[in-house]
Amino acid sequence: MAAEHLEDEQVHSVIAEETSQENEHHDEDNRLKPEFLRAVREALDEEDFERVYDLVEPLHPADIADLFELFDEDQRLDLARAIRDLMGVEVIAELNDWVREALIEGLPADVVADIAEQLDTDDAVAMIEDLDREDQQAVLAELDPEDRAAIEAALAYPDESAGRLMSRDFVAVPESMSVGDLIDFLREQRHLPTDFWEVFIVDAMHKPVGTCALSWILRTPRSIPLSDVMKREQTLIPVMMDQEEVALRFQKYALISAAVVDEAGRLVGQITVDDIVHIIQEEAGEDALLLSGAGDGDINEPILLTVRTRLMWLVINLGTAMIAASVVGLFQGAIARLALLAVLMPIVSGMGGNAGTQTLAVAVRALATNQLTSSNTRRMILREFRIALTNGLALGTLIGTGTAIIFGMPMLGLVIAMAMLINNLVAGLVGILVPVTLDRFDIDPAVSSAVFVTTATDTMGFFSFLGLAVLMGLA
Amino acid sequence: MAAEHLEDEQVHSVIAEETSQENEHHDEDNRLKPEFLRAVREALDEEDFERVYDLVEPLHPADIADLFELFDEDQRLDLARAIRDLMGVEVIAELNDWVREALIEGLPADVVADIAEQLDTDDAVAMIEDLDREDQQAVLAELDPEDRAAIEAALAYPDESAGRLMSRDFVAVPESMSVGDLIDFLREQRHLPTDFWEVFIVDAMHKPVGTCALSWILRTPRSIPLSDVMKREQTLIPVMMDQEEVALRFQKYALISAAVVDEAGRLVGQITVDDIVHIIQEEAGEDALLLSGAGDGDINEPILLTVRTRLMWLVINLGTAMIAASVVGLFQGAIARLALLAVLMPIVSGMGGNAGTQTLAVAVRALATNQLTSSNTRRMILREFRIALTNGLALGTLIGTGTAIIFGMPMLGLVIAMAMLINNLVAGLVGILVPVTLDRFDIDPAVSSAVFVTTATDTMGFFSFLGLAVLMGLA
């Protein structure tokens, strides 16, 4: 626990604006300032492309990518034209998929190929994987044979697999090397990957036998053999592994990079954490979107695609709403005699829906992070049951007392209290049993659980409340 | 785009089970197998601690941590006792906060202090920050002065700030060094951090002037000065920055590690991506939980805390449900005359709720990832309005036609179609305006938006449908 410093004579002191959270281009949340965007837009409208260039030039590539996303679609091509020289690979790699696709489709195939050749395999694959087959072929034809082979090989792996994600640029050396040999080798090589954080040690069959973080190499004398420095245990990623699984491994074992191996166990690529961070963010964030039926919720998605995704979900829900309504339909006579029942029934169904959604959100999250497994399912169900019982009793007492007092009908109070308790228990149990069951059948619980849960809480809410009311002779 | 390999004579071929997704201890999703847990539990029940030790010993520390979380609370202390020697710092660091807290509270202060001294500052802080003030003081008193000072300094920063998160162990050297000097320095140093991925270059005031990835150092001849290798632009993290902001910077700029600076711009710590990955996962995943009012949804949280969090949310929702019910109350006369209205009204309100939740989930996500800013708010509102209009027309036509045919009441069909359209528009607009407005006032939209949105869609659903029905003389 000691920081390592070496003080020295005064050198620079440049940091300046970067330390403050707010600066010329960014607000305090690191978002591009509206004033800045307005200035760029005005310059674009006036076709003062030189001014546009001067404004955008100081930005980090990731901020240039943000700028594109914040602009309206029809302004994006103008902007790209104005800052052509700045449209480097880093900007392209950082763009949202939809925004990139639209821009790439607007560019001729040879320009796209030029960009692809500068990118690491994984970024090049990301860039062209969403193009039409025809456009893809046109770009591939422009690539030099080695790059084309690498990209075609990556595209042969399934979407969202480790094979798609990995970079074919990595450093692999034999165990017989010493630290000094390795350093000399690295100094001599020209075609090293842009970034690497560990060196993989392989055998003659090109199977990984160990790994060496660069910091271990740097602190070890030249004469020591790599086999004495390397760690033999390492997390190997099978090339067919789903990216969500890959992300969970990176997180669980705190990996910075990892070796990807083919079916025969041979090293074929590496995955680095910077590519994983996006996936972790996406996979973790998609639960809320999937649960609500908003698809992947990308605000840059073409609007017709968004409408289709959401509408499909809403139509399914319309079906379940009609099932719930048909339960109410059974009690039309009772409602006609005591319209107050229609006033109170949405409270019971709605509160059940809320409680069910809570349990569902927790269960889906725990399943996604491997915290909820078959080994603790029973404990979790019991836990949710106890929570539902407590909350059901509390809410039932509250609404029951209120109803009895406000409407002067103690029996109605008792009925709504009991219905509330029953529906809370239904909500708690369905809220955990549905996602756990779907997961058991390898169906993503985030995608399909909500329909079942709200159907259950709506129908049971109406049925328990109206049924008890009739049973108790209230109407 | 060329992989670097050096073939060599046959060496090992050890990987074996690690390549396959399923192995002795893990199922194909890398979760510990139920059979394995059962074996450990049985050995524990039989007090065969040697067997427990032999079973657990081959596991990775992260898997041992998982094992604790999967066990029931009352078995965890037994397990800890049985595998005392394996309870290393890595296991402690990987444990869920609640599970760790319970375990740590069961251990004497000097044992906790022993563990804390082995940990990096950031992990040590994470371990003791949640302890009672008294327990915390007891542990601090057992630490050696240097470590105590470091941990106390970290605890002085606000919760969830960069200062809490950072490690005080990093490598900082002056610009005057050459690559060779640096390598010699690293080889001589004893107290280097466990992991570091870049070296920070500082001036005499200890302000960062540049940064050097270890791979650049390794591939550069010894004689080259660091000032020629280092990158001068770097993302500096202010010590008071919120961890969510830190995570966004890491993601946006694809950082592996970053320098943390104090108010005067001096280098005081480093943050590495492996600590950020957990935060990205948590922050991205919490939206679904917060939107549902399930708090942080930690399944290891004490149950009474969970009940309190969820109940508070449910009580708030009970209030809004009563507001919506009171709207229905205005139309009791109409419902008594045509009970069919009570059957259909939940469809209108429920579908509005579904559509509102979709828009809300998208807006909350886009705000959290800085994709939705004041620069494109107007475009997003227009986008949501168009989606709501399309979906409202589609759903309205569907339910309107169905109602007209099934019940033979064309006017009732028209009324429900119009109400559906109106409520979809309300849902779309409220679904985006509420989170954007809350965000403008620096209130986390994920926490509080849903109440407003469902209140709006419930009340407007009931009001538009029942109101139109009365207006059209249906009841």
Q: Encode pLDDT of B90-143 as tens digits.
A: 788 788 888 888 888 877 777 778 777 777 777 788 778 877 888 888 888 888
> Given this model, what pLDDT does residue A22 score?
66
* Residue A176 and residue A168 in contact, taking contact as beta carbons nearer than 8 Å: no
- Residue A128 φ/ψ, nearest 5 degrees: -105, -5
Angle at A173 (CA atoms; ends A168, A178), nearest 5 degrees: 150
CA distance A77 to A102: 9
B378 part of contact set with chain A, CB < 8 Å: no
Yes or no, beta carbons of B276 and A277 under 8 Å apart: yes
- Measured distance CA(B100)–CA(B130) in Å, rounded: 10
Compute φ and ψ for B374, nearest 5 degrees.
-60, -20
- In chain A, what percentage of residues exceed pLDDT 70? 95
B426, B456 contact by CB (below 8 A): yes
B405 interfaces chain A, CB cutoff of 8 Å: no
Torsion of CA B193, B197, B202, B208, to 10 degrees: -120
In the predicted structure, residue A9 carries a pLDDT above the cut 60: no
Whether residue B218 is found in the same domain as residue B103: no
* CB contact residues (below 8 A), chain A span 322-341, against chain B: 322, 324-326, 328-329, 332-333, 335-336, 339-341
> B463 lies in which domain range?
302-471
- Residue of B6, B30, B317 lying closest to A351 (CB–CB): B317
- What pLDDT score was predicted for residue B340? 97
Of A245-249, B26-30, B77-81, B107-111, the range with the lowest mean pLDDT is B107-111
> pLDDT value at position A346?
97
d(CA B463, CA B475): 14
Query: Residues 103 to 132 of B: which have CB under 8 A from any A CB?
Result: 117, 120-121
Q: How many structural domains are present in chain A?
A: 3
Please tell me the distance from the alpha carbon of residue A230 to that of residue A303, in angstroms, as a whole number: 52
The pLDDT assigned to A17 comes to 39
Chain mean pLDDT for chain A: 88
Q: Which residue has the higher pLDDT, A369 or B422?
A: B422
Nearest CA in chain B to A207: B13
| Distant-in-sequence, close-in-space partners of B275: CB < 8 Å, separation ≥ 6 | B122, B165, B167
User: For chain B, first and last CA: distance in Å?
Assistant: 74
Where helices occur in B49-177 by DSSP H, the ranges are 49-56, 61-70, 73-82, 89-94, 97-105, 109-118, 121-128, 133-142, 145-156, 162-165
Q: Same domain for B328 and B351?
A: yes
Question: Taking CA atoms, what residue in A is nearest to B196?
Answer: A215
> What is the pLDDT averaged over residues B70-79?
86
Q: What is the pLDDT of residue B7?
A: 37
- Nearest to residue A358, comparing CAs of B195, B313, B424? B313
Q: pLDDT by residue (tens digit) across A203-233?
A: 999 999 999 999 999 999 999 999 999 999 8
DSSP, collapsed to helix, strand or coil, labels residue A260 as strand
List the single residue in B with minimal CA-CA distance to A206.
B7
Nearest CA to B66 among A364, A370, A283? A370
Q: How many CA atoms lie within 13 A of B305 on its CB side?
A: 9
* Residue A9: DSSP 8-state: S
For A287, residues 6+ apart whose C-beta sits below 8 A from its C-beta are A361, A364, A365, A368, A446, B285, B287, B288
CA–CA gap between residue B273 and residue B280 (Å, rounded): 10
Residue B302: pLDDT over 70: yes
Determine, yes or no, domain membership for B285.
no
What pLDDT score does A169 carry?
86
Pairing label, strands A267-272, A257-261: antiparallel
CATH classification at residue B111:
1.25.60.10
Highest mean pLDDT: which of A17-31, A142-156, A259-273?
A259-273
Question: B451 at the A interface (CB within 8 A)?
Answer: no
Alpha carbon distance B221, B209 (integer Å) = 22
In chain A, what residues touch B373 (CB-CB under 8 Å)? 31-32, 34, 70
Do B461 and B340 have their domain in common?
Answer: yes
Interface check B439 vs A, CB under 8 A: no
Q: What is the pLDDT of residue A21?
A: 55
Position B249, amino acid: R
Our CA-based measurement puts residue A314 at a distance from the nearest CA of chain B, in whole angstroms, of: 7
Alpha-carbon distances, residue A439 vs A456, B238, B458 (angstroms): 19, 42, 32
DSSP three-state, residue A223: coil
Of B70, B238, B350, the CB nearest to A321: B350
Amino acid at the residue A25:
H
Question: Within a domain: residue A166?
Answer: no
Q: Which residues pair with B177 in a beta bridge?
A: none
Whole-number pLDDT of residue A102: 84
A198-202 and A171-174 as β-strands: parallel, antiparallel, unpaired? parallel
Give residue B75's pLDDT band: very low, low, confident or very high (50, 70, 90): confident
Q: What are the tens digits of pLDDT across the range A169-206?
A: 899 999 999 999 999 999 998 778 877 999 999 999 99
Rounded distance between C-alpha atoms, residue B261 and residue B112, angstroms: 30
| Residue B36 pLDDT class (50, 70, 90 cuts) | very high
For B4, the closest chain A residue by CA position comes to A171
Give the span between the Cα atoms of B90 and B64, in whole angstroms. Answer: 9
Yes or no, beta carbons of A214 and B219 under 8 Å apart = no
Mean pLDDT value across residues B11-27: 53
Angstrom distances, CA of residue A253 to CA of B27, B165, B277, B423: 17, 19, 11, 48
Is the same domain home to A142 and A176? no
> Which of A327-344 are b and which e, b meaning 16 or more Cβ less than 10 Å from the residue's Cβ?
bbbebbebbbebbbbbbb
Buried-exposed string B292-312: b where 16+ CB fall within 10 A, e elsewhere: bbbbbbbbbbeeeebbebbbe
Structure tokens at B243: 């961890």
Cα distance between residue B288 and residue A346, in whole Å: 24
Q: pLDDT tier at B14 (50, 70, 90 boundaries)?
A: very low
Residue B128 contacts residue B148 (beta carbons within 8 Å):
no
Residues of A in contact with B395 (CB under 8 A): 311, 314-315, 318
Cβ-based contacts of B273 with chain A (< 8 Å): 256, 273-274, 277
CB contact under 8 A, A4 and B191: yes
- The predicted pLDDT at position A14 comes to 35
Which residues lie closer than 8 Å to B407 by C-beta, 6 or more apart? B340, B413
Examine the fold and report which residue of A159, A189, A207 is the final residue of a domain before the chain moves on: A159
Are residues A117 and B1, on separate chains, in Cβ contact within 8 Å? Answer: yes
Residue A211 sits in the same domain as residue A127: no
Structure tokens at B343: 């059957």
CA A229 to chain centre: 36
Q: Is B55 on the interface with A (CB under 8 A)?
A: no
Phi, psi of B155 (to 5 degrees): -65, -20
Contact check, Cβ <8 Å, A187/B232? no
pLDDT tens digits, one per residue of B232-266: 989 999 999 999 899 989 988 889 999 999 999 99
Q: So what's the pLDDT on residue A472?
A: 95
Among candidate residues B89, B90, B246, B234, the one with its CA nearest the CA of residue B158:
B246
A74 touches chain B (CB under 8 A): no
Residue with tokens 């119009």: B418
> Where residue A123 falls among pLDDT bands split at 50, 70, 90?
confident
Within a domain: residue A220? yes
Regarding whether A318 and A272 lie in a shared domain, the answer is: no
Give dist(CA B45, CA B86) in Å, integer.
19
Of B117, B204, B351, the CB nearest to A11: B204
How many angstroms away from the CA of B79 is the closest CA of chain A?
A: 16
Phi, psi dihedrals of residue B257, rounded to the nearest 5° = -150, 165
Percent of chain B residues topping a pLDDT of 70: 95
Distance (Å, whole) CA B344 – CA A325 = 6
What is the rounded CA–CA span in Å between residue A449 and residue A357?
10
Specify whether the CB–CB gap between B384 and B431 falls below 8 A.
Answer: yes
In Å, how far is A183's CA from the nearest CA of chain B?
Answer: 6
Return the closest-CA partner of residue A414 out of A425, A399, A436: A399
Nearest to B332 by CA among A411, A346, A342, A333: A342
Answer whether residue A2 is part of any domain: no
Range from A122-131, A443-452, B107-116 that averages highest in pLDDT:
A443-452
Interface contacts A/B by beta carbons within 8 Å: 529
**Chain A closest CA to B340's CA: distance in Å?**
7
Instruction: Name the residue facing B340 among A14, A236, A332 (closest C-beta).
Output: A332
Pairing of strands A208-213, A198-202: antiparallel
A181 to chain B, closest Cα gap in Å: 12
Q: What is the CA radius of gyration of chain B?
A: 30
* Same domain? A47 vs A194: no
Cβ pair A269, A292 in contact under 8 A: no
Q: Are residues B261 and B387 in the same domain?
A: no
| Together in a domain, B230 and B252 | yes
Average pLDDT over residues B65-69: 91
pLDDT tens digits, one per residue of B312-358: 999 999 999 999 999 999 999 999 999 999 999 999 999 999 999 99
Q: With CA atoms as reference, report the closest residue to B8 among A358, A181, A49.
A: A181
Test B361 with A297 for CB contact under 8 angstroms: yes
Residue B123 lies in a domain: yes
Which of the residues B4, B289, B317, B407 would you substitute to probe the A interface, choosing the one with the greatest number of A C-beta atoms within 10 Å?
Answer: B4
Q: Is residue A221 part of a domain?
A: yes
Domain boundary among B125, B158, B191: B158
Are B165 and B275 spatial neighbours (Cβ–Cβ below 8 Å)?
yes
Question: Which segment, A82-91, A230-239, B246-255, B416-425, is predicted with the most confidence on average?
Answer: B416-425
Q: Which helix (H) or strand (E) holds B289?
A: helix B273-292
Q: Do A1 and B273 lie within an 8 Å CB cutoff? A: no
Q: What pLDDT is recorded for position A170?
A: 92
Buried-state track A240-259, b at ≥16 Cβ within 10 A, e below 16: ebbbbbbbbbbbbbbbbbbb
Tokens of A421: 């308790």
Residues 218 through 257 of chain B touching chain A, CB cutoff 8 Å: 218-221, 232-236, 238, 241, 245, 248-256
CA distance A409 to chain B (A): 16
For chain B, say whether A437 makes contact (Cβ under 8 Å): no
CB contact, 8 Å: B197 with chain A?
A: yes
Q: Quick check: B178 and B225 in contact, CB under 8 A?
A: yes
CB A468 within 8 A of CB A418: yes
Choosing from A133, A159, A185, the residue where a domain stops is A159
Gap from B77 CA to chain A (nearest CA, Å): 17
For A382, nearest residue in chain B (alpha carbons): B303
**Per-residue model confidence (pLDDT) at position B297:** 87
Cβ-defined contact of A253 to B60 (cutoff 8 Å): yes
Identify whether A466 is part of a domain: yes
Write down the pLDDT at residue B13.
33
Q: Is B190 on the interface with A (CB under 8 A)?
A: no
Choose, out of B197, B218, B250, the residue to mutate when testing the contact with A (most A CBs < 10 Å).
B218
Instruction: Please say if the pLDDT value at position A453 is more than 90.
Output: yes
Instruction: Indicate yes or no: CB of B6 within 8 angstroms of CB of A336.
Output: no
Question: Cβ contact (<8 Å) for A285 and B289?
Answer: no
**Residue B12 maps to a domain:** no
**Averaged pLDDT for residues A386-401:** 97
| pLDDT over 70 at A7, yes or no | no
Residue B48: CA count within 13 A, CB half-sphere: 11
Chain A residues within 8 A of B398 when measuring between CB atoms = 315, 318
Are A205 and A316 part of one and the same domain? no
Judged by CB atoms closer than 8 Å, whether chains meet at A325 and B346 is answered as yes
Q: What is the CATH number of the domain that holds A438?
A: 1.10.357.20
What is the signed CA dihedral for A101, B386, A321, B320, rounded to 10 degrees?
Answer: 110
Q: What percent of chain A has pLDDT over 90?
A: 60
pLDDT bracket for residue B21 (50, 70, 90)? low
Tell whether A117 and A139 lie within a shared domain: yes
What CATH number is given to the structural domain containing B226? 3.10.580.10
If asked whether residues A318 and A216 sit together in one domain, one would say: no
Of A13-27, A339-353, B252-266, the poorest mean pLDDT is in A13-27
Q: For chain A, percent helix, then strand, then coil, each to nearest 5? A: 65, 10, 30
Q: Indicate the burial class of A368 (C-beta count within 10 angstroms; 0-12, 13-18, 19 or more).
A: buried
Distance from CA of B100 to the nearest CA of A (A): 15
